[in-house]
Amino acid sequence: MNDISFTDLGLADPILRALSDRNHDTPTPIQAQAIPRLLEDVDLLGVAQTGTGKTGAFALPILHVLSRGHGDGKRNHPRALVLAPTRELAIQIGDEFHAYGKYLHLRHVVIFGGVSQHAQVTKLRRGVDVIVATPGRLLDLMEQGHVNLKHVEHLVLDEADRMLDMGFIRDVRKILAKLPEDRQSLLFSATMPAEVVKLSHDMLYEPERIDIAPKTIAVEAIRQAVHFVNAKEKQSLLRELLGDKDMKRVIVFTRTKHRANRVADNLVKAGVEAAAIHGNKSQAARQKALDAFRNGRVRVLVATDIAARGIDVKDITHVINFELPNEAESYVHRIGRTARAGSEGVALSFCDDTEYGELKDIEKLIGRPVDTASGERPLHAAAKAPRGGRQGKWAGNKGGQQGRSGGQKRRSGRRPSRRAA
C-alpha cells in the first residue's frame, strides 16, 4: 500500500487534476484502503481520528460516482448527504468537496445553524448534488419543506462519537428515517462507545471495517507519569501541580461535561486562569475559550475528549488526565496534544481506586507501564494495589468488535448496485 498513488485508485481524470493542483500524489492509509472499496458500492465503518485524511477517503469516491451521473442537480433532490457535528467541521468538509470537485459540474451546499438560512435555502432551490450539514439546521429545513432526501444515494456520518457527545444522535436517527433504504452508507468515528456501535448496526449493511490506529510514535517522545490519588484529592493535587510555572499552557481532560465545568470553576476560584470546553457549550463560547487559550489569556483549558478533537494549539506544555479515559485509544489522542513539531511534552495522569482497569488497558496499548510520579505519597490503597488489578467497568468492551452482521438491521437482500456494469 505504501507505493500506491491516487492514479492507481481508478478516480476520474478531473478529480486527479484537482489532486495534482494540491500536490496530493499519495493517499493516506485510510484513503488507500477505503477508496477502492467504496467505488465497489460497499458500506463502510471507519474507525479513525481527525488528521488521517478521512474526508478525502469519502469525498473522492463520492465525487467520482456523482460525476458519472447527470451532475446538474435536481431541485431539492441531493444525491449525497454528509452529516457533521459542528459548523467548523461542516465548513471544512464543504471546502474539501469544493477543492476536489473544482473540475466537475457538481453543486454542493453547507448547512449549519447560528446564521440566517436565506443563503442556504437559495442554494437548495437552485439544485445541489451534495449537502454537508449539521443535524439541527438540516431538520429545520426539512420540516419547512426546503429539503427532500428521497434521492440520496450516499450517506456519510462523520465523527459519530462527537455526535453522541453533543446530543445529536436522536436528530441523526430522525434524518435516517427520511432516507431511502437503497443507499451507500458510511460511518466514521474515532472511538466506538456502545450507542455508536448500535447506530452503526442500524444504518450500515454488511460494512467493511477499516481501523486506523492512533499514532503511537509520538507517545515515546512524551514524558508520562501517573499519580495514584484518592478521587476527593484530585482537585487539590491539580492546584498543587499548577503551582509549577513551567506549566505554561495546559489541557486538563475529564470524562464528562459536568466534571469539566466543576474543575474549571474550582481553578478560577483558586486564581488560575481556566476555561471549560465541551459539547454543551455554544459555538461562540467554545470559540471564545479557544481564542483565550491560544493567546495566553487562559492558561488551562479543561476539556472532554470529543470537544478537544478540533483543538489545534501550538506549544501545549502539559496534558493532565484528571480522569483516565474509558477507552485506552483516547489516552493516546489526549497526550498527543503535547510534544508536537519536535517539542518536548509532559503527560500526567490521576488514577484513583476505580481506575486501575483503565490504566492497565492504557499500558497494554502503549506497550509499557506508565512511570509512577516521583515523590508519590502512599496515603491510600491505590499505591499498594497491583497495576491493573481491578477490572474497569469498560474492561473487555472494545465497542465495535462484535460481529459485523450480528444485531444489524438487515435490509431485504443485498441492496442492488446503482452502478453500470
Structural domain that includes position 311: 217-383
Q: 68-77, 143-152, 160-169: which has the minimum mean pLDDT?
A: 68-77
Residue 388 lies in a domain: no
Which of helix, strand or coil describes residue 64?
helix
Identify each DSSP E strand in 231-365 by its residue range.
250-254, 274-277, 300-304, 318-321, 345-351
Domain match, 177 and 275 both: no
pLDDT band at 310 (very low <50, low <70, confident <90, very high): low
Question: For 309-317, what is the mean pLDDT?
Answer: 76
Residue 194 amino acid letter: A
Q: Say if residues 4 and 22 touch (Cβ distance below 8 Å).
A: no
Domain match, 52 and 194 both: yes
Instruction: Kindly list the strands in the beta sheet with 130-133, ordered across the sheet, starting from the edge strand earlier in the chain.
Output: 108-111, 130-133, 80-83, 154-157, 184-189, 44-47, 208-211
Domain boundary at 172, 193, 211, which?
211
Domain match, 36 and 116 both: yes
Domain match, 187 and 230 both: no
Residue 158 lies in a domain: yes
Domain match, 195 and 236 both: no
Question: For 56-85, what is the mean pLDDT?
Answer: 83
Residues of the chain with pLDDT > 70: what percent?
81
pLDDT band at 104 (very low <50, low <70, confident <90, very high): very high
The 10 Å Cβ neighbour count of residue 7 is 12
Domain boundary at 211, 230, 259, which?
211
| Cα separation, 42 vs 63, whole angstroms | 16
Residue 419 lies in a domain: no
pLDDT band at 80 (very low <50, low <70, confident <90, very high): very high
pLDDT tens-place string over residues 213-234 = 655 445 677 899 999 999 999 9
Residue 311 lies in a domain: yes
User: What residues contact 79, with CB distance under 8 A and at least 6 apart?
Assistant: 66, 69, 129, 130, 151, 152, 153, 154
Q: How many residues does the chain have?
A: 421
| Cα separation, 34 vs 80, whole angstroms | 17
Residue 82, beta-bridge partner list: 132, 156
**Burial classification of residue 232, based on how many CB atoms lie within 10 Å of its CB (0-12 exposed, 13-18 middle, 19 or more buried):** exposed
What pLDDT does residue 387 have?
43
Domain match, 228 and 194 both: no
Domain match, 50 and 121 both: yes
Residue 417 lies in a domain: no
Residue 143 lies in a domain: yes
C-alpha cell belonging to residue 159: 465523527
Question: For 337-357, what is the mean pLDDT?
Answer: 82
Residue 155, beta-bridge partner list: 81, 185
| Cα separation, 9 vs 16, whole angstroms | 10
pTM for this model (two decimals): 0.65
Residues of the chain with pLDDT > 90: what percent?
60
- φ and ψ at 112, to 5 degrees? -155, 160
DSSP secondary structure of 129-151: SEEEE-HHHHHHHHHTTS---TT
Domain boundary at 211, 244, 274, which?
211
Domain match, 141 and 238 both: no
| Cα separation, 374 vs 376, whole angstroms | 5
* Number of domains the chain contains: 2
C-alpha cell belonging to residue 294: 491560544
Residue 389 lies in a domain: no
CATH of the domain at 274: 3.40.50.300
pLDDT tens-place string over residues 156-214 = 999 998 888 788 999 999 999 999 999 999 999 988 888 899 999 999 999 999 988 65
Closest Cα partner for 325 from 286, 289, 295, 355? 355
Domain match, 184 and 63 both: yes
Between the alpha carbon of residue 329 and those of residues 266, 323, 380, the distances in Å are 28, 14, 28
Residue 200 lies in a domain: yes
Domain match, 262 and 347 both: yes
| Cα separation, 132 vs 106, whole angstroms | 14
The 10 Å Cβ neighbour count of residue 413 is 7
Q: Say if residues 303 and 251 touch (Cβ distance below 8 Å).
A: yes
Domain match, 187 and 81 both: yes
The 10 Å Cβ neighbour count of residue 37 is 16
The upper half-sphere exposure of residue 320, i.e. CA atoms within 13 Å in the direction of its Cβ, equals 24
Domain match, 241 and 206 both: no
